[in-house]
Every structure is written in C-alpha cells, then in structure tokens.
Chain A
Amino acid sequence: MGDLLAGFAVALTPANLLWGLAGTTLGTAVGVLPGIGPALTVALLLPVTYNLDPTAALIMFAGIYYGAMYGGSTTSILLNTPGESSTIVTAIDGHQMARNGRAGAALATAAIGSFVAGTLATLALSLTAPLMAKLALAFGSAEYFALMVLAFVMVTTMLGESRLKGWLSLLLGLTLGFVGIDGLSGHARFTFGIPYLLDGIDPVIVAIGLFAIGETLWVASRGPAIDEVLPVRGSLMMTAEEWARSWRPWLRGTAIGFPLGALPAGGAELPTLMSYAIEKRLSRRPEEFGHGAIEAVAGPEAANNASAAGTLVPLLTLGLPTSATAAVLLAAFQQFGLQPGPLLFEHESALVWGVIASLYIGNAMLLVLNLPLVGLWVKLLSIPRPWLYGGILVVASLGAFSVHRSAGDLLLMAAIGIVGFLLRAIGAPVAPVMICLILGPAAEQHLRRALSISQGDWTVFVSHPLSATLLAVSALIVGLGILRKPRTGIESNHEVE
C-alpha cells in the first residue's frame, strides 16, 4: 500500500496529471473514431515521445488504452459501427437502445459500468501484480518459454474465424519476428543481404501498417458506405430500474474481464462475448437481448475495461503482452530502456506505481469526459469518412517515417498494410501477427537459453513442474480443441484493438 501511495504522489504532480488527461482525452477520441485504435495510437506516438520522461509517456499511453475502452462504446451505440473490436458486442443492443430513443441510458450504463469495472480491476491489478512479480522471480527460461507457447496457442485459438487462419497469422508474426540479427549468436537471419533488414522489422511499423493501412484498405474494398449517426436522445440519468438492471452485469463483467484479460487470450474480444452470453443466460428477459437490453450493454462494457487492467498484470510482471495494444506498450517500455518483468517493480517502483495510480485518476477523468461531455465526442463522428481515412493515412505515414526517418520504412509500412488487408479479406485475425512478432523472438531466445543452461538437455521443459504444466495445457488446447470461441453469431471483421 505504501508503494501505491508513493505512486499517487508521482501521478498527482501537475505535469503527470496533464499527461494523464492528454492520454485519456486522446484515448477517448481514438476510441470514438472508427479505424484507429489504442495500439495504433501508441505506436504513432512512440517516435515523438522518445525525449519525454518515461513515467509521463507511459501514464499517457495507459490513459490511451483505458480511454479507448470508454470511447469505443459511444460509436457502437450511436453509429452501429463498432469503434473498437472490444465494443462489437456493445453495438448489438446499444444501437437498438439508441433507436428506441434510449441512447442516453445506454451511454450512461456504458460509462458508469466502465468506471466501476475500471476502478475495481485497477484495484485487483494493484493487489495481484506485486504478488505475481514475486512469483515470477522464480521463472527461468524454461518457464518463460512454456508460458509463451501457451500464449501462442490461446491467441490463435481464440481469435479469427478458423483455426487454420489463426495459425496463419501466428506463423506470419513469428517469421517476421525472426528477421534481423539473432540476439544470441549475432547471426543475420532472413535479411537476404539487405542492410536495412539487419535490425529486424520494427514492431511500430508493423502496428501502423497492419492497423492503419490494412484497415483503411479494407474499408475501401467494401465500397462506399453510408452511416447514420443517431442523436443522443433520452436522459443521461438512468432510472431506478435501469440502475437495478445494470449493477449486477457490471460486477459480473468485471469478474469475467479481469482474469480473462490477464490470460493470454488476445485482449477484450473474448471477455465481452462471454459477458454477453452469460447475461443472456441469467436474464429474466432473454427475449429482449438483441432488441435493446440494458444488461447487454452494461456487462460487456464492464468486461472490456476490466480486461484492459487484466492485460497489464502479465505485461508488467512477466513482460508478456497478451493483446495487440499490450504488445505495442511493451515496445514503449523497451524504447525507454525498461524491461517489464519481475524486477521492474524493484528497479522502477516509482514509475510502475505512478502508472498504476494514474489509472485510478484516469478512470475518474474518463467518467467526466464520457458522460457530461459526450456531446463533444459525437461531433467527432460527423467528420466525413473519406477525410477521416485520408487523415489516418497521412498520420500513419508521418508516424512510420519519424521512427527512423527512413523512406524505406514507408515502403515496409505499405507492404505490411497490404498483408493486413489480405488477412482481413480472408477472415484471418490480425492481432496474433502483432503479438507473435514481439513474443516470437523472445520465446526462441528463452528456448535456446534454457537449452544452453541445461547443456542441450531437452527434458528441462518437462522436469520443471511449472513449464511441464503450461506445455501440457497448451498441448490439450491444440489437441482436443477444448477452448472454442463462444458462438454468438456476431460477425467481426474489426480487429483494431
């Protein structure tokens, strides 16, 4: 608790409050705007925050992550085009509520639910992360490798239309990750004699290409679309009945979102789907689902915010990103020479706790930003779609160029963008590419390190109980296909997370 209080001292300095406000505002904006998400936004900001104080930059990035979870719901409710993959589920009943003239109540239950879940889940993060960090100290290379294998398996099984397409994305990410000089031996791999490739493929360029360019091409390929933005009707104050129908889904959503976010299951998509399915089963009025049931907005909205906090647990304590945004956040830590992992809490106590404390403050800011000020965000939706995507392309190319000030990066961005488009076109998930690009080389290094330490003895992976368990679970998931994405009949081609 002392650490957390010290963290508040860091987060409450005027400068850091301002960065937090900037992050939450920007996060809400990108959440509201379709086509850009938190992963892309953080990636775009990385080059320009290079000279910033790491604590300030990370507070802003965390604010963006949380903010996008709030902002996405506004678009889902008023536009029926989800702003984020995490708010696809919200769009079903949220948009129906708006059609029925209850947009105010839908926005309110989403924002208050996000606040409740965000705060509770941040509390859970503050409690579990230090414990997890202590446990993680005992992790050796064998355990890390096994954990990453589990992450690969879960991410590919959970996302996408079919297993094959999930694996395709996984393998693409792994292959791209191997490009460059091998950190363990100094050998160049997959560089084809091109010096440009020696440093490997920058995850920031990949994030920009996959999410900004790929998404824009995908939107373009579906032809012109006309969106109708519904006006905010109905009071933002919820009635007693709406409160009564909302609070249980909020708590259940939190309970689902936090642990699932912490598991390597690819972020917020799965928890929101599960929350929807559970609320439907528990409801006394299941026939209302699909026609504007408030529970179907309250539960998933709480779940997506709780999962954002959950994602931070493995990211901070193990250096293990479980969603595309977390993968970019990991790159952000590394840009500042920080290595998330068990020692981060020891070495950078003020920074970690400062960021965690800023999440509590950010949640309060976001409640204000998203409820009384919701009208401002709705205006963002009136930006003509062609200009929005034109702007996205310009900002994306600017961001890609500023990483190394190299025109070659622009070409790489375009190439990755085309790949991102093709993946979307065949219905393959995009997020595993990003996660595996970052996790792949790390997993390989841990594998080879474990083998070096054991002097080539492969049994280390089964003689250590923890790594044996993790590998067994992974094998079961692959072999038996126990885990299936819950069927809700919801089509999702949006992978912008």
Chain B
Amino acid sequence: MQRVLAEIEPGVSVQVDNVPGAAGTIGLARFIQSERGNPGALMVTGLVMVSGVLLNGSPVSLAGTTPIARLTGEYEVIVVPASSRFRSLGELIDAFKKDPGSVSWGGGSAGGTDDLLVRLLAEQIGLPASSVNYIAFAGGGAALAAVLGGQLSAAVSGYAEFAGQIAAGQLRVLAISSASRVSGIDAPTLRESGIALDLSNWRAIVAPPGLSDAEEEALTARITKLATSPQWRSTLEQNGWADEFLTGPPLRQFLLAEQARIEDVLRRLSANNSRAPTTLAVTLTPSSLPNAVAMIFLGALALTAFTTTRQSVAFDRQGMRMTVALVTALLVLPIAFVTAGFVASSTMLFAIASTTLRAQSLSVRAIAIDLSVGAAFSIALFLLFTRGLGVMLPGFF
C-alpha cells in the first residue's frame, strides 16, 4: 500500500513500521497509547486482529481507534483432496453432523480466520463450536501437505493458498465463503449450500484515537483517493484481493458486527473448553507437555549441579575476573544502546572487551588504541547498516 500511496501523493514520505507480536495486539496497544491525536499515524488492521485481541485478553481493542476505511477482503475456501469421498459440501456436512470428531479440519493458527470459519459453520448447522476437530498449522500452506497426504478430511484457508493445487486438479473446492460467486473460481458459496454464512478476511485502515472531525475527514478523503486510483486497482488484481471499500458510519457498524459475532463464537468456545474434556478426547492440554518438560529439565539441572560441584570445575582466576567484567558490560549494554546510541555503546563494549581480554596492566595508550579501533569499527558498521542496508539504529553518538 505504501507503494501506491507514494505514487499518487508524491512528496509524502510513508514509513512502514512492522510491529510484530501476538496477532498485532502488541502493535495495537503501542499505537493507541503513543500515537493518540496524531493524524500522521495509520495502522493496517484486519479480522485477525479482532480475534487476536479477544484471544490474548488484550486490554485494548479496535474500539479504541478511529476507523478510516475498509479496503480489501480475501475469501476462504473449503477444499478436500481430489481423491476424497466428499464430492460436495453437503456430503461433508452430513458426515460432520453424524460424528463431528471424525471430520478433521486443517487450516491456519488457532483463532485465525480459518479456525473461525469452521467454528461459525458448525454453529450455523446446529453443532457447538467446540465440537470441531480443528487442527491448526502455521498457515494454510502448511496444512496443504497434510490434506494432500489424506491425513485431514478437509482444509480451510484463503483461496490464494490453494490456488496452485486447485488449478492442477489435486484439490477440489467444496465452497467459498463469499456472499456471491467470485468470477474465476468455480465454487459454490456457502449460502448456495444452504448455510447462511459469509466471511471475508478483510483489511482496514485505522487512525489513532483523539482525532478532530476535520482530521478524520481529511484522512478519509486521502484514503478514498488512494482506493479509487488505477494503481490501487492493479495492486488488488495482482494480489487477488477483493475490493471491499467502505468508510464512515457503515464501516463502524460493520466493525461492531464483526467484533460481536467473533466474540460470541470465541466465548462459547472457551466456555465449553473449560467445562469438561471435549468429545475429542484429546488427552494433552496445551500446558501439560511444556510443564512436564520443564519439570524434568529442573530435575536434570539439579542432578547436574550436584555432580558437577563435586568435581569442582577449575577456573583460571584472572579468567573469572575477565568473564565477570564482560558479563557486566553486556548487562549494561541494553540501557546504553537506547540512551547513548549505537556508536557510543558499541565503542565502549569493544574497548571494554578488548582491554579485558588483553589482560595486561592498564595503559592509557592501549586503551586509547582500543577505543579508536572500536569507534572506527562501530562507525563503519553504523554507516553500513543505516545507509547501506536500511536498518534503523538508535542515535549517532
């Protein structure tokens, strides 16, 4: 998007800052807190963040932002291997209704769009959301091998994830989650199969809270200009995204509705999960294995500590002093990095390490040489990274 923005509004510098973490909720919290009232900051959000907020118990939500525009959507498809006994969605649903556990669904991460679609589908046909035997993979692409290998009954993900295998005839599309048929994709909608459900993996632009009406209008106008430009059209086409442009009050209503239905299904899901072991009879909870491993680790650690202290490792005394000096320098480094900048902190680190490792009596001359070599090295690295590789580093000196 920043590419299109730069093309239609030359002279405006767009800086993209990817904040990783927890389905975007860490970025969301940072965005709401530190960008309040700043019309120059925008964030791209989407369906995944709505469920991410709920799943992570994040204290902030999209309601804390100023929605500007919904831009794109991607539809989900339900696929089975070409050799599957399920010829149509109806047959799959019948088997699912008869024995929910026997149908294994695969797709992207838990609580993501793929997961939500199957849960919503289950509720539509009168099954509890928790009865779904959903198997999460790193993404639709990762689920592909499992569905092609016949280990999953069906896989669910964005159309683009499976497009190659669908075209090659290795996968059969049973349904698409759009409201009406999509040209170029030979698949019935869920509604055609009698399930009143559609789901789009939408993406929207939001601004920070605390904007004036005039600022909000100006932003909306700019994004509208972007969304109607020919460059944006071709971007949509290249990526196979559907145009779902929406602004103003209808957008707010849409966001509230999405939040409500996702919240509902997730709440019923967690209520069911915590009550009793589900019908799936999955004997491992998410924390049983980690806890067991951690306990054994602590046991092994204790055992090692016991056997090793008896052997008493012989250390060079001077060596120990050098190690302690280095450790201290490393522990101070994070603070120095942020406050004093990269070049200064790295020069110090270099000089401390060199002087310590040389292990001779301190001489002003040697320290001066270490400092200048360290400074030259750090400045060279700083220039290489900031100018050459485009990595931002804190501060100059």
Q: Name the residue on A nearest B296 (C-beta).
A: A171
Residues on B facing A (Cβ under 8 Å): 20-22, 26, 29, 55-56, 101-102, 104, 109-111, 133, 135-138, 141-142, 144-146, 148-149, 151-152, 164, 280-284, 286-287, 289-290, 293-294, 296-297, 300-301, 303-304, 307-308, 313, 315-316, 318-320, 322-323, 326-327, 330-331, 333-335, 337-338, 342, 346, 349-351, 353-359, 370, 373-374, 377-378, 381, 385, 389-393
Are A426 and B304 interface neighbours, CB within 8 A? yes
| Assembly CA distance A213 to B329 (angstroms) | 12
Are A184 and B136 also in contact (CB < 8 A) when A213-B330, A220-B323, A452-B280 are? Answer: yes
Judged by a CB distance under 8 angstroms, whether A168 is at the interface is yes
Write out the residue numbers on chain B whose beta carbons fall within 8 Å of the beta carbon of A186: 55-56, 109-111
Write out the residue numbers on chain A whose beta carbons fall within 8 Å of the beta carbon of B342: 398, 401
Which of B294, B322, B370, B373 has a CB less than 8 Å from the CB of A190?
B294
Are B326 and A404 interface neighbours, CB within 8 A? no
| Assembly CA distance A347 to B139 (angstroms) | 15
Q: Name the residue on A nearest B145 (C-beta).
A: A343
Are B297 and A171 interface neighbours, CB within 8 A? yes
Are A386 and B287 interface neighbours, CB within 8 A? no
Chain A 123-145, CB within 8 Å of chain B: the 1/0 string? 00000000000000111110000
Write out the residue numbers on chain B whose beta carbons fall within 8 Å of the beta carbon of A307: none
- Interface of B (DSSP majority class): helix
Interfacial residues of chain A within 138-189, with CB under 8 A of chain B in the complex: 138-141, 164-165, 167-168, 171-172, 174-175, 178, 181-189
| Assembly CA distance A221 to B392 (angstroms) | 34
Write out the residue numbers on chain A whose beta carbons fall within 8 Å of the beta carbon of B138: 183, 339
| Assembly CA distance A297 to B372 (angstroms) | 41
Q: How far is the CB of A18 from chain B (nearest CB, A)?
A: 15
Judged by a CB distance under 8 angstroms, whether A486 is at the interface is no
| Assembly CA distance A183 to B104 (angstroms) | 17
Are B357 and A395 interface neighbours, CB within 8 A? no
Are A183 and B110 interface neighbours, CB within 8 A? yes
| Assembly CA distance A284 to B141 (angstroms) | 56
Write out the residue numbers on chain A whose beta carbons fall within 8 Å of the beta carbon of B331: 411, 414
Are A217 and B323 interface neighbours, CB within 8 A? yes
Write out the residue numbers on chain A whose beta carbons fall within 8 Å of the beta carbon of B22: 181, 195, 198-199
Contacts A/B (CB < 8 Å), 20 sampled = A137-B149, A168-B301, A174-B297, A178-B294, A184-B135, A185-B136, A198-B21, A198-B56, A216-B326, A222-B316, A224-B359, A389-B354, A393-B326, A394-B349, A394-B381, A407-B335, A407-B337, A410-B337, A452-B280, A453-B133
| Assembly CA distance A440 to B290 (angstroms) | 10
Are A190 and B21 also in contact (CB < 8 A) when A48-B391, A168-B301, A426-B304 are? Answer: no
Write out the residue numbers on chain A whose beta carbons fall within 8 Å of the beta carbon of B133: 452-453, 455
Are A452 and B135 also in contact (CB < 8 A) when A174-B297, A223-B359, A397-B337 are? Answer: yes
Known: A195-B26, A397-B333, A398-B385. 19 other contacts (CB 8 A): A51-B390, A183-B110, A185-B286, A195-B22, A220-B323, A387-B350, A387-B370, A393-B350, A394-B346, A394-B378, A398-B346, A401-B393, A402-B393, A408-B334, A414-B330, A421-B323, A452-B104, A455-B101, A458-B283
Which of B149, B164, B323 has a CB less than 8 Å from the CB of A221?
B323
| Assembly CA distance A199 to B144 (angstroms) | 24
Are A140 and B351 interface neighbours, CB within 8 A? no
Are B104 and A453 interface neighbours, CB within 8 A? yes
Which of A183, A391, A393, A405 has a CB less than 8 Å from the CB of B392?
A405
Q: How far is the CB of A193 from chain B (nearest CB, A)?
A: 10
Are B102 and A386 interface neighbours, CB within 8 A? no
Are B304 and A168 interface neighbours, CB within 8 A? yes
Are A394 and B280 interface neighbours, CB within 8 A? no
Are B304 and A221 interface neighbours, CB within 8 A? no
Write out the residue numbers on chain B whose beta carbons fall within 8 Å of the beta carbon of A405: 391-392
Q: How far is the CB of A331 from chain B (nearest CB, A)?
A: 13
Are A175 and B327 interface neighbours, CB within 8 A? no
Q: How far is the CB of A202 from chain B (nearest CB, A)?
A: 10
Write out the residue numbers on chain B whose beta carbons fall within 8 Å of the beta carbon of A51: 390
Which of A182, A219, A224 has a CB less than 8 Å from the CB of B318?
A224
Q: Name the residue on A nearest B356 (C-beta).
A: A220
Q: Which of A1-9, A256-264, A285-293, A441-449 contacts B (4 or more CB under 8 A)?
A: A441-449
Which of A141, A171, A385, A391 has a CB less than 8 Å from the CB of B293?
A171
Interfacial residues of chain A within 363-419, with CB under 8 A of chain B in the complex: 384-387, 389-391, 393-395, 397-398, 401-402, 404-405, 407-408, 410-411, 413-414, 417-418
Are A221 and B327 interface neighbours, CB within 8 A? no
Write out the residue numbers on chain B whose beta carbons fall within 8 Å of the beta carbon of A385: 357
| Assembly CA distance A458 to B282 (angstroms) | 10
Write out the residue numbers on chain A whose beta carbons fall within 8 Å of the beta carbon of B370: 386-387, 390
Chain A 415-452, CB within 8 Å of chain B: the 1/0 string? 00110010001101000000000001000110111011
| Assembly CA distance A444 to B292 (angstroms) | 12
Are A178 and B316 also in contact (CB < 8 A) when A199-B20, A342-B145 are? Answer: no
Are B350 and A390 interface neighbours, CB within 8 A? yes
| Assembly CA distance A187 to B313 (angstroms) | 41
| Assembly CA distance A176 to B272 (angstroms) | 30
Q: How far is the CB of A338 from chain B (nearest CB, A)?
A: 9
Write out the residue numbers on chain B whose beta carbons fall within 8 Å of the beta carbon of A213: 330
Are A402 and B320 interface neighbours, CB within 8 A? no
Write out the residue numbers on chain A whose beta carbons fall within 8 Å of the beta carbon of B29: 195
Write out the residue numbers on chain A whose beta carbons fall within 8 Å of the beta carbon of B55: 186
Are A389 and B346 interface neighbours, CB within 8 A? no
Interface size classification for chain A: 35 or more
Write out the residue numbers on chain A whose beta carbons fall within 8 Å of the beta carbon of B283: 451, 456, 458
Are B110 and A184 interface neighbours, CB within 8 A? yes
| Assembly CA distance A138 to B373 (angstroms) | 56
Are A452 and B282 also in contact (CB < 8 A) when A140-B151, A390-B349, A407-B337 are? Answer: yes
Write out the residue numbers on chain A whose beta carbons fall within 8 Å of the beta carbon of B104: 452-453
Q: How far is the CB of B279 from chain A (nearest CB, A)?
A: 9
Are A187 and B109 also in contact (CB < 8 A) when A48-B391, A452-B133, A455-B133 are? Answer: no
Judged by a CB distance under 8 angstroms, whether A54 is at the interface is no
Q: How far is the CB of B224 from chain A (nearest CB, A)?
A: 30
Are B381 and A398 interface neighbours, CB within 8 A? yes
Write out the residue numbers on chain B whose beta carbons fall within 8 Å of the beta carbon of A401: 337, 342, 393
Are B282 and A456 interface neighbours, CB within 8 A? yes
Write out the residue numbers on chain A whose beta carbons fall within 8 Å of the beta carbon of B101: 455
Interfacial residues of chain A within 203-250, with CB under 8 A of chain B in the complex: 213, 216-217, 219-224
Q: Name the residue on B nearest A425 (C-beta).
A: B313
| Assembly CA distance A195 to B374 (angstroms) | 35
Are B149 and A455 interface neighbours, CB within 8 A? no
Are A414 and B290 interface neighbours, CB within 8 A? no
Q: How far is the CB of A51 from chain B (nearest CB, A)?
A: 7
Are A402 and B319 also in contact (CB < 8 A) when A394-B378, A428-B304, A453-B151 are? Answer: no
Q: How far is the CB of A154 from chain B (nearest CB, A)?
A: 18
Write out the residue numbers on chain B whose beta carbons fall within 8 Å of the beta carbon of A402: 385, 391, 393
Are A220 and B326 interface neighbours, CB within 8 A? yes
Write out the residue numbers on chain A whose beta carbons fall within 8 Å of the beta carbon of B326: 216-217, 220, 393
Judged by a CB distance under 8 angstroms, whether A101 is at the interface is no
Are B146 and A140 interface neighbours, CB within 8 A? yes
Q: How far is the CB of A336 from chain B (nearest CB, A)?
A: 12
Write out the residue numbers on chain A whose beta carbons fall within 8 Å of the beta carbon of B149: 137-140
Q: Name the residue on A nearest B351 (C-beta).
A: A390
Q: Name the residue on B nearest A347 (C-beta).
A: B164
Write out the residue numbers on chain A whose beta carbons fall within 8 Å of the beta carbon of B356: 220, 386
Write out the residue numbers on chain A whose beta carbons fall within 8 Å of the beta carbon of B308: 426
Write out the residue numbers on chain A whose beta carbons fall within 8 Å of the beta carbon of B290: 175, 178, 189-190, 444
Write out the residue numbers on chain B whose beta carbons fall within 8 Å of the beta carbon of A389: 353-354, 357
